[in-house]
Structure 1
Amino acid sequence: MDRHLRPGDRGREAQEGALLRWLHIAVGALAFAVVSIPLLARKGGRVHMCAGSVYVYAMAVLAVTGVPLAARGLAHEDPVRRANALFLFFIALLAADSAWMGVGVLRAAKGSSAARGGPVRIGPPAVLLLAALCLLVLGILGGSVLHVSFALLGATLATGRLAYWLRSTRTRADAIVMHIGAMGVLCITTLTAFVITNARHVFHARPFTLVLWIAPTVLGAAVIGLSQRAWRARLARGEP
């Protein structure tokens, strides 16, 4: 399709792509810079909530700007490049759903109209589950361990989130534990994006090297599990 563009149109498209890429990088740097603040600040405090809001909004912009950047790969002649572009779409969806879930469970716990779930809450994890199943098929057909691994991860997370909203009763402890899990996944995507972005320069590896994606996920999952366990025990003792 690009071969039919006039030189002026091609140059304008390149400028727009460069602008979008720099916006994506700048917002990504902001997200990486503030992610540690809500993690270290007193939970529920003003600093935690303000920094957390900045982080969530930054990740939302990253997800939105990441879609057209990934879409460029869909027009590539190499089927592996096209498959990796679809994988990046999935990662953007995973991050967006994690942010939506992390914020939504706390709002619902405070008695918002979404407390009973409904399409607004159930829709995003349902879409994530469908995307995970599609990625699983793509990964199996293409023989990609990376795609299959993240498809299974996405399906597991989506199923758990759907089950959460479909429960007849949910406690404050359930909401906080789910918040930790969802925001933890979002933090993992931030760390992974940083690692992948610098893969070629720092680690001298290709961006889609399996270990660069799996290592932050495994380490992050361990931290999330320990945090959830500690907070559930803390809440069971009646501590705020």
Structure 2
Amino acid sequence: MDIGQVSLLLHIAFGSIALITAALAFLTEKGPKFHAKVGRIYALAMTGVGLTAVALWWLGSSSFLLLIAFFSTYMVLVGWRLGQNRKGSVNIVDQTLVGMGTIGTLGLLFISADIAFGGAGPWDEEASFALVPLVFSLICGFLTYFQRLSLKSGVAPRGKERIRLHGIFMGAGTISTVTAFSLTAIGGGVVIWLLPTFIGTPLIIYNLGGLRSGRVQIPSNSESA
């Protein structure tokens, strides 16, 4: 078994763990320690996905898949950081994550332009496939800007705002993870790539609406996410 096969197996293993823990985190009650532990495993698994994606890219995988993994990992790490940062401190970790988001945004935008004007996407898709990295670039750019804006005062979000942003970033990372899984299990195409976004976005909005209405409870003795 060569290094490419090992990297691919690890990538699949980390991705599978990420999918399972993402589902558990979404379904379990927000606040208790079990939810926090599942979220931590999810963040670690997504870090593994990102690192193995770099290895696969180095061995010849497409830049597009690398940037999708980078985008997913960025979202989840920001979400995990928000879940842990109860005191609202801002340090080099936050600035590094903003940098990651900026790189992901510009990289996906470049890939979109290259596909649109080059005439063919990954797996010999038509130029219309440029819509996929464009959509992800816009999402990544918007959330990166939103993250940067939330840190502008020198204090990171706290209380319910922290939990709300935690849900947004974790949800976006989960959508991206499911998208990559759909590609592997079903195949490519614009519809397959964008379908998880169209399905997952209303679920994120529903979950966040529950926080505002009180349907989703955050225990008063713990701000753990």
Place the TM-score, normalised by the shorter chain, in its bin: 0.7 to 0.9
> Residue 150 in 1 paired to residue 127 in 2?
no
After superposition, give the CA deviation of every residue in 1:144-185 in whole Å (9 maximum; x if it has no partner). Answer: 333333323323332333233324374523221211111112
Q: For the Cα contact (< 8 Å) 2:39–2:80, is it kept in 1?
A: no
Quick one: percent identity of the two aligned structures? 25
Name the counterpart of 1:134.
110
Name the counterpart of 1:105.
82
Structure 1 runs (4+) greater than 4 angstroms displaced: 237-240
The within-5 A match list for 1:8-87 is: 15-73=2-60, 85-87=62-64
**Structure 1: distance between partners of 2:74 and 2:40:** 15
**Structure 2: distance between partners of 1:22 and 1:184:** 25
More helix by share: 1
| Residues 121 and 91 of structure 1: CA distance in aligned 2, closer, same or farther (over 3 Å) | closer
Q: How far off is 1:69 after superposition?
A: 1.7
Structure 1 unmatched ranges of 5 or more: 1-13, 75-84, 200-206
Moved more, 157-166 or 222-231: 157-166
Q: For the Cα contact (< 8 Å) 2:25–2:39, is it kept in 1?
A: yes
Name the counterpart of 1:8.
none
**Structure 2: distance between partners of 1:238 and 1:97:** 25
Name the counterpart of 1:78.
none
2:118 maps to amino acid: G
2:210 maps to amino acid: A
TM-score by length of 2: 0.79
> Residue 159 in 1 paired to residue 142 in 2?
yes
After superposition, give the CA deviation of every residue in 1:209-229 in whole Å (9 maximum; x if it has no partner). Answer: 222111112101111122222
Q: Could you say which structure has the greater relative contact order, defined with CA pairs below 8 angstroms and 6 or more residues apart?
A: 2
**What's the Cα RMSD here?**
2.7
**Structure 1: distance between partners of 2:64 and 2:114:** 9
1:88 maps to amino acid: L
1:221 maps to amino acid: T
| Residues 128 and 222 of structure 1: CA distance in aligned 2, closer, same or farther (over 3 Å) | same
**Structure 2: distance between partners of 1:49 and 1:232:** 20
**Structure 2: distance between partners of 1:147 and 1:61:** 27
Name the counterpart of 1:90.
67
**Structure 1: distance between partners of 2:46 and 2:101:** 17
Q: For the Cα contact (< 8 Å) 2:106–2:137, is it kept in 1?
A: no
Structure 2 unmatched ranges of 5 or more: 120-126, 221-225
TM-score by length of 1: 0.75
Larger Rg: 1
**Structure 2: distance between partners of 1:111 and 1:53:** 19
1:164 maps to amino acid: Q
